[in-house]
Amino acid sequence: MAGKDVPVSPLAPKRQPKVPPIPGVRFATAEAGIRYKGRQDVWFALLDQGTQVAGVFTRSKCPSAPVDWCRENLSQGSARAVVVNSGNANAFTGLKGRDAVKLTAEIAAKAAGCKPEEVFIASTGVIGEPLDATKFKGVLDECAKRAADGPWIDAAKAIMTTDTFPKALTRKAKIDGKEVVIAGIAKGAGMIAPDMATMLSFVFTDAPIAAPVLQALLSKGVKGSFNAVTVDSDTSTSDTLMLFATGKAAARGVPAITEVNDIRLSGFKRALNSILLELAHLVCKDGEGARKFVEVRVTGAASARSAKRVALSIANSPLVKTALAGEDANWGRVVMAVGKAGEPADRDKLDIGFGDIVVAKQGARAPSYDEVAVSEYMKGDNIVITADLGLGRGKATVWTCDLTKAYVEINGDYRS
């Protein structure tokens, strides 16, 4: 269904936030005809010299050529350009895929005036189709000439595939009492599961933070955000999340941060984690065919790790997700998902709730169970499922969406 008109998700934000410029970052979008016609499908960002970079990528054993390229060049810690295309993932394309990435980097490097290894690349779209990188010739040169510091919404639109709305956010933070700004964009709607990352996302800041510190912040921050959302349990070959720091805030007196335990980082950490979490939520709210945003809270597990596995078992269950789509509080399916997780559980200690309504208590239907009340609750756009295992102190929260007929239609027609 890529490239076809689809209704905007009912869970989309009512308005798009105004994202300010990030000093040291300029970009432009263009129509390269990678797959789509009549829409922008390439985003080219230029980064000032000295920009530091960090990244996390899919753990799929079948990664895309762009993921391999980024991993190889990440260790140098610096970046000067980013190229992202939609419509073709350049995954499972063999030597042709690697050659296409290399040519893309060379074209971008020439346009940006940097080395190819300072160019980071991401692709999203159909798997298994060779990417014709010659389509970037001239396009990236032209983008470089008209690159500007906004609008960020254009960048978010250019990287969309089956997304129904662009995802762009901003946060402000203070380091040693002086303000820095953070901006981020993301794309993702299907093939979304928590195995880092779970889509494409690019976050930028003007804070002067060294690459090793950025990497530590990103690797930790992703655990409770992008690694805690799932749309369909499928991890993409192309998952990429990158964080760039231009350091331009140093000119305003913001001190350079070179140690991850620097106490002056506390405000920045909170802001970064906040933007990562909201971007992850937006991806989940744009889940293909989604009509409900669902939070799954598991408590009382034997450990935090065990709680996470149980929560994901619930969130990924097709039976749970279709019940949600049908607005049916079928708590028996939650019991099933807890039981199949392979984690410690005791039927006679298990409590289950929908929102504030307890539906099952200690292995049986709750005495206070009210079918009318819970049915009314299930009609809402935002649903909370709780499961207390009664075994220990482990807890975890993950987010998902319902599974509707539209998901089948979108993916059944994806290559059409």
Active site residues: 198
How far is residue 199's CA from residue 169's CA, in Å, rounded to a whole number?
Answer: 16
Strands in 200-255 per DSSP E: 200-205, 240-245
How far is residue 69's CA from residue 76's CA, in Å, rounded to a whole number?
Answer: 13
Cα 114 from chain centre: 28
Residue 169 pairs with which residues in a beta bridge?
Answer: 184
Instruction: Tell how strand 200-205 and strand 351-354 pair up.
Output: unpaired
Question: Do you find a cis peptide bond into 116, omega within 30 degrees of 0?
Answer: no
Q: Which residues are annotated as a binding site for substrate?
A: 161, 187, 198, 288, 411, 416
Cβ atoms 186, 13 nearer than 8 A: no
Cβ atoms 168, 194 nearer than 8 A: no
How far is residue 86's CA from residue 200's CA, in Å, rounded to a whole number?
Answer: 10
Residue 345 pairs with which residues in a beta bridge?
Answer: none
Residue given tokens 């596995």 in the structure block: 309
How far is residue 27's CA from residue 402's CA, in Å, rounded to a whole number?
Answer: 35
Helical pair 304-316 and 318-325, crossing angle rounded to 10 deg? 60
Q: H or E stretch including 397?
A: strand 394-401
Q: Which residues are annotated as a binding site?
A: 161, 187, 198, 288, 411, 416
Alpha helical stretches, state H, 26-93: 65-74
Instruction: Tell how strand 382-388 and strand 178-187 pair up.
Output: unpaired
**Which residues, 6+ apart, have CB-to-CB distance to 134 below 8 Å?**
103
| Residue from 209, 203, 213 nearest 175 by CA | 209
Residue 78 pairs with which residues in a beta bridge?
Answer: 52
Helical pair 139-146 and 94-112, crossing angle rounded to 10 deg? 30
